[in-house]
Amino acid sequence: MDLGIRGKRALVCASSKGLGRGCAEALAAAGVDLVLNARGAEALEATAEAIRAEYGVSVTAVAADITDEAGRARVLEAAGAVDVLITNAGGPPPGLWSDWTRDDFIKALDANMLTPIALMTALLPGMIERGWGRVVNITSQSVKAPIPQLGLSNAARTGLTGYVAGTARQVAGHGVTINNLLPGSHDTDRAVALEKGVAKAQDVSLEEARKIRCKSIPSGRYGTITEFGNTCAFLCSEHAGFIVGQNILLDGGQTSATI
């Protein structure tokens, strides 16, 4: 399917690896020029080069911490006028409700709520002026059903979800859509980090921990970054202009809910 976005320009945050990279590759496959970002310059440049070589689109790489104001300013300056924004950053660490201090919450809110809001505040006006835009926020299945050990993530991402619910409806009349993609368990470094937590808590091997996690997923496996990226690219396509303020779960059926 032609997504109808060839020649558009996208900023994909936190995209040298994992879900962000999946989104970047799928957008590049649709002919979208990219601005990519991550903190580590080496992996970022390698990803940028691989995408340039495979898809022939223009790729600008900006090594910066997207959750830091100065880093974000550098990314936004390099990005300029973009048609598509994918917000993403590392997720908060796991733990227990009794461990978390005010500072832990501030850090999580900064990374997973206030950073995407700041990016939208900066880029929505240009999209509105040009009469076309797409924003996809990478959040988490924890928005639909809490993950007990990820309370910091549950809290920050639910705040972002509330913001998007209202804002998406304020900008939709200008041809700009905002939606959230909610990953369940996907095969990325983050998934391995969470497996290590399960392995330690249940005193089992990493392989066993993965089996335990996969058992709780009706599809019986983790999702791939390609599946995730292609769904993101569809949400950014011409065809998705009537999808507004939605929270799309990609979790292999793990969240047991009727709607």
Taking Cα atoms as reference points, which of 139, 94, 142 lies closest to residue 113? 139
Q: Where are the beta strands (DSSP E) in 76-172?
A: 84-87, 133-138
Cβ-based nearer residue to ligand NAP, 223 or 245: 223
Dihedral (CA of 208, 209, 210, 212) sign? positive
Residue 153 CB burial class (10 angstroms; 0-12, 13-18, ≥19): buried
Is there a contact between 94 and 150 (Cβ–Cβ < 8 Å)? yes
Using the rule CB under 6 A, is 254 a contact of ligand NAP?
A: no
Residue 94 in contact with ligand NAP, rule: CB under 6 A: no
C-alpha angle with apex 179: 45 to 189, nearest 5 degrees? 40
**Contact flag: residue 253 with ligand NAP (CB under 6 A):** no
Decide: is 183 part of the binding site for ligand NAP (CB under 6 A): yes
Site string for ligand NAP, 137-176 (x = CB under 6 A): -x-x------------------------------------
Shortest distance (Å) from residue 37 CB to ligand NAP: 5
Binder to ligand NAP among 17, 134, 144, 210 (CB under 6 A)? 17
Pick the closer one to ligand NAP by CB: 2 or 42.
Answer: 42
3-state DSSP assignment of residue 5: coil
CB of 142 to ligand NAP, least distance (A): 7
Binding region for ligand NAP (CB under 6 A): 14-20, 37-40, 43, 65-67, 88-91, 138, 140, 183, 185-186, 188-191
